[in-house]
Each structure stands twice: as structure tokens, then as C-alpha cells.
Amino acid sequence: MMDFQIPTQDQYAKAMMDLLPPGKAWPRDIDTNLYSLFYALAGEVRKMDDKALDLIAAAFPATATDFLDDWLEVFALPDKCTTWQSSDEDKRAQIVARLTWTGEASIKFLKAYCANLGYSVDIKEWGGAICGASRAGKQGCQRSDRLSES
């Protein structure tokens, strides 16, 4: 994520003072009550900006903290691979993996994808019912229905 520097309280106060019209009624000196007022207001504006930046990091899936449970719900997690006992880091990795998944539906791709997530899987692909070849009453998913893994 981008490294963004929040202005200092003095910089905020100066920016707010610069919005005032010119003239003796609006002194810009730092030893005035007007500057003290703007300095105090600037502190609150700086706090809000700081919280807004924290909120961005908290909402982004790879760094989610406050919104981690919401992201888990979106992707129907935890599941058999990710449990409630998994670390937050593992949960975030699963969310990002599901969010950024691009690929194909081949056995080779799926095994590599799972391996990248840290899981070793065995995938068995079965042939489906074929009109004219399948018949009612025949048990499905027999060894003869299994396709090769090439």
C-alpha cells in the first residue's frame, strides 16, 4: 500500500488559516487566540485523517483487521481448509486467494493452486451421465466412469 504522510497539526492549522480572508481582523501570528483555536481544530482533523487511513488498511483483504469477519462471511469461510482456529494471517491468505483466483478448471491447475495455498490434494475426476450411454438404475461414479488425469 502507498505510504501516505499525514500533515502535521501545524500544517493543518496553517492551511485552515490560509482560508481566511486577508486583513487585520484575521491575524496569522502563532501567538494569537485565533491561531490557538485553529490549532486545536487542526488536531481533530488530523485524528480523523489518521483514522481514515487506518480504515483503508483495515478494510483491504490482505491487511484486514476490523473487517476480517465480514470478509470471511463473503467467502463462506471458515471451511474445511480454514477453521476458526486458523491464524488471522491464514484467514487473510485464504480470502486474498479466493478474491484473486484466475485460472482454469483442469486437474493440473487446481493441484498447483491448492499447493500454493499450502494444501496437498488428490483430485478424482468422474465422467457424467451421457445420453444414450447411461441407463436408469446404473450406479454412477464407478471406476469405469473415471477419466484420466492428463
pLDDT digits (tens, 9 = 90+) for 33-63: 999 999 999 999 999 999 888 888 888 888 8
**What DSSP line would sit under 50-92, residue for residue?**
HHHHHHHHHHSGGG-STTHHHHHHHTT-S-SSS-TTS-HHHHH
pTM above 0.85, yes or no: no
Pick 110 or 144 by higher pLDDT.
Answer: 110
**How confident is the model over 82-114, as pLDDT tens digits?**
667 788 888 888 888 888 878 888 888 888 888
